[in-house]
Chain A
Amino acid sequence: MKKLISLLLVILMLITTVGCSKPEDKVESAADENGDFHVAVSLPYTGTNASYAEYIDMGIKVALKKLENEGWLNGDGTGKIICDYYDDKNDATEGATIATKVTTSTEPYYLLEVGSFASGVSYPCATIYKEAEMVQYALTCSKSDYLETSGDWGFSLSMTQDTAAARVAAYDIKHLGFDKIALIYSNDSWGLETCKFYTATAEKLGVQLLASEKYDDGQQDFTSILTKIKQTNPQLVMCFCAENDIVLIRQQAETVGLDCEWQVSSKSRTSNVLQNLGDLGEGLYGIYAKTKDLTDPVYLEYEALYKEMYGAKYAEDNNTTQKYADQGYNCMMTVIWAIKETMKTGTTRQAFRDKLATLTDFPGVQGKLTFATGRKILQVQYLSQIVRGEDGKLKWINYEDLLNTFDVDAVAGLK
C-alpha cells in the first residue's frame, strides 16, 4: 500500500512537472495572447562556473530594465519580454533536459534560448535546438565548429577558438617577443582546443613551447606543475584557465618562486582576477575583445542603469561594468532589436533567426556588433595588461593603438 502511495505521488509529480499539452505549430507570431515574448535563459547558476552565470544574468536584466523603462516593445507597457531562468549546473545532461523542455514547451512558447555558458554544455544541446528549429543564442560558446553543428540556429558573441588562440600566440611571439613560453591549460574541451591552436600558431611562428601542462577541474594545488615549469626557465607562462584557477596559479607561482611574465586568455581577463591578485597582478597580460568607449552614449546609458541596479557590485569591480555582464547585455539588446524589427511582419522563430543573422554594425557596449557570413561574429582583439595607474591603483589597460602598427591577423596567418 505504501509503495502504491509513493508511486502515485511520483506519477502526480510527473504530471504536474509540465502541463499535459502537446506542442502545436505557431505560425503567425511567437508572442502569447498578451503580446509578450518568452525567452528561456539557461545558465550554470550553481556549480564551478556560477560566477559567469551571475554576470551574464546581470547584463540580461539590465537590458530588460532598459526596455521596461522605454515602455517595453510597443512603448505603451505592452509587448513585454519575459525571461525564464533555468539552472543547468554546468552539466551537459541537465542542459539537454532543459533544451528539450524549452523546445517543446507551449505554455509559455519560447522564441529563443539564451545560453549556456560553457561550450561543453551548449555544444551538445545545439542539435536539439536545430531539430526544433529554435535559436540557441550561446553567447559565450567558442568551440570552433559550433556554428556548423548548430545548423542555422546557433549564434555566439564570442570569437571561435581557432581565431582567438592564434591571435594570442601572434601577440606573444611577434609583438612581445617571447620565445621561451610554457603553457598551462584546463583539461576541458575549451582548454584542449585553445591549446591546440595556440601551439600550432606558435610552431608556425618558429617557437617550440617549453612545457604544456593540463590540469583537471577542481584542482587547487598547482605547486608541483609550477615547480616543473620553473625548471624550464620560461620567459612567459600562458594560461588558458578559468578566472578562479589563474588566481591560484599566480599565487602559488610565488610560493615556488617562479619568476616570469604571465598572460591569460580573454576568459580570465576580468576584474575579478585584477582584484584577487592584488599586487601580484601587476604586469599580467591579457587579451580583450573590443573595448568599452567610456564616452560612447550607448555605454553610458548602460553603465548608469547597471550602477543603479548593481551599485555594490559596480563599486567592487573598480567602478566598471563586468565583461560578461556586457556580453549578456549585448545579447539581450540584439534580441530586442531583432524582435522589434520583425514585429510588423510577425515574429516567428524563423523570422527572428533570419533577422538576427543579418545583424550589422549594431551599437553594442563594446563597439559595433556584426554577424558576418556563417553567423561568424567579427571582433578585434586587443592586447591588454594590468598596470599601475597614476592614482597608484592597478587596472586593466588595453593597447588599442597597437593595432595601427601591428596587424595581428596577418601575423597569425588568419588572412
Chain B
Amino acid sequence: MAKFLQILVNGISLGSIYALTAIGYSLIYSILQLINMSNAAVFLTSAVIFYALYSSITAGQVALTFILTLIAAGALGYIIELVAIRPIREKGDSNTYALISSIGVKTILEQICQGTFGSEIKPFPTLLAGKYIDLFGARTSAIQIIIIVVTLVILFVMNWYTQHNRVGRGLRALSQNLNACHLMGMPVNTLIGVSFAVGSILAAVSGVAYCMYLSSISISVGAAIGNKAFAATVLGGIGVLKGAVVGGYILAVIESFVAGYWSMSAMNFVSFSVIIIVLIIKPTGIFGKKEQHKV
C-alpha cells in the first residue's frame, strides 16, 4: 500500500509538470493549429535563465528570480512569435512552414543553452529542502506539494482568465476563427503574440518547478518533457484546457506505475501505446469535441 501511494504521489507531481507544459502547447495549437516545437526549448531556457540570475544578480532571492524569469520567458515567447512565426503566418502559408521555423528556433535555443551553461549537472535552488510529509506511508517532499498546489492554482487562474478577461475572451475568439477576428478589427497579431508569451511563461513555470523538484539542472531537462507534454495535450483533447491537464496527469501516473511495478524501459512503451489506443477509441482525445463533419 505504501508503495502504491508513493508511486501515485510521484506520478501526480510529475503530472503537474506535464500539465503545465501541455497547456502551452494546447493554447498555441488551438489558435494557429501549429505544434510549437520551441516550447520544450523555452522550458530549458527559462530554467537556465533562472539559474544564471540566481547565481549572479539576484543571489538567494527565489521569489524575485522567479518573477524576473517569468518576465524574460514571456518576452522570449513574444519574440519567437514576432521573429520566427509572424512573417510566415502573414504570408498566409501553411503552418507546416511555421513548424519547421519553430524547430529551427528550438535548435538555436538549445545550442545557446548548451554553449553558455555547459553540459554538467549543477545544483538548483529548491524550496524547503529536506522537509518531508508522510502521507499514509508515502513520503512526499515539500516541493512536490508546492508544485501540485501551484499547478492547480495556475489552472484555475487560467480558466478564469480565458472565461472572464477581455484578453482571454479574445484568445478564445481567435481559436474559433482567426479570419473573422481579423475582419472584426481585433488586434490579432498582438493577441497571438500574447498567447505565445503566456505559453512560454507556463513553460517557464514548469521548467523552474521541474528543476526545483530535481534540485538540479542540466541541459537535458527539457528533452524528455517536450514530446510527453505534446502527447499529453493530444491525449486530453487538443485545444481543450482541461484536456491538456487531465492528459498530463494520466500520462504521468501511468508512467509512474509502469516504472514502479514493471520496468522503466516499459514505461515509455506503455504510455505511447495508451495514446494510440485512446485515440483509436476516441479519435479526438478524451475531452476533445467531435469536429463537425461540415459538408
Q: Do chains A and B touch in the complex (CB under 8 A)?
A: yes
Binding site for B on A (CB under 8 A): 46-51, 54, 187, 213-216, 218-225, 227-228, 230-231, 243-244, 247-248, 251-252, 254-257, 272, 275-276, 278
Q: A227 to B122, alpha carbons, bound, how many Å?
A: 24
Whether A221 lies near B216 (C-beta < 8 A) is no
Whether A256 lies near B10 (C-beta < 8 A) is yes
Cβ–Cβ < 8 Å partners of B10 in chain A: 221, 223-224, 227, 256
B268's partner among A48, A216, A221, A227 (CB-CB below 8 A) is A216
Whether B235 sits at the interface, judged by CB under 8 Å, is no
Whether B218 sits at the interface, judged by CB under 8 Å, is yes
Binding site for A on B (CB under 8 A): 3, 6-7, 10-11, 14, 111, 114-115, 118-123, 130, 132, 139, 141, 144, 210, 214-216, 218-221, 223-224, 255-261, 263-265, 267-268
Cβ–Cβ < 8 Å partners of A275 in chain B: 123
Cβ–Cβ < 8 Å partners of B216 in chain A: 247-248, 251, 276
Jot down 30 A-B pairs with beta carbons below 8 A, ordered by A.
A47-B119, A50-B114, A50-B118, A50-B119, A50-B219, A51-B118, A54-B118, A54-B119, A213-B263, A213-B264, A215-B265, A218-B224, A221-B14, A223-B7, A223-B10, A224-B7, A224-B256, A224-B258, A224-B260, A227-B260, A228-B3, A231-B3, A247-B121, A251-B216, A255-B132, A256-B10, A257-B132, A272-B121, A276-B121, A276-B216
Given the interface pairs A46-B114, A251-B214, the reply to whether A272 lies near B264 with Cβ below 8 Å is no
Shortest CB distance A403–B (Å): 32
Cβ–Cβ < 8 Å partners of B6 in chain A: 223, 227, 256
B218's partner among A46, A215, A244, A252 (CB-CB below 8 A) is A244
Cβ–Cβ < 8 Å partners of B7 in chain A: 223-224, 227
Shortest CB distance B227–A (Å): 10
Cβ–Cβ < 8 Å partners of B115 in chain A: 46
Shortest CB distance B125–A (Å): 13
Whether B220 lies near A244 (C-beta < 8 A) is yes
Q: A243 to B267, alpha carbons, bound, how many Å?
A: 23
Cβ–Cβ < 8 Å partners of A54 in chain B: 118-119
Cβ–Cβ < 8 Å partners of A256 in chain B: 6, 10, 139
Q: Apart from A46-B115, A275-B123, what are 9 other A-B pairs with CB-CB below 8 Å?
A: A213-B264, A215-B265, A224-B255, A224-B257, A227-B7, A231-B3, A248-B121, A248-B214, A276-B216
Specify the chain A residue showing the minimal Cβ separation from B252: A221
Cβ–Cβ < 8 Å partners of B210 in chain A: 220
Whether B265 lies near A220 (C-beta < 8 A) is no
Q: A397 to B29, alpha carbons, bound, how many Å?
A: 54
Shortest CB distance A369–B (Å): 27
Shortest CB distance A94–B (Å): 15
Specify the chain A residue showing the minimal Cβ separation from B218: A244
Whether A220 lies near B220 (C-beta < 8 A) is yes
Q: A187 to B267, alpha carbons, bound, how many Å?
A: 13
Specify the chain A residue showing the minimal Cβ separation from B114: A46
Q: A278 to B120, alpha carbons, bound, how many Å?
A: 15
Whether B256 lies near A276 (C-beta < 8 A) is no
Q: A278 to B141, alpha carbons, bound, how many Å?
A: 18
Q: A218 to B268, alpha carbons, bound, how many Å?
A: 12
Whether A48 lies near B215 (C-beta < 8 A) is no
Whether A255 lies near B120 (C-beta < 8 A) is no
Cβ–Cβ < 8 Å partners of A254 in chain B: 130
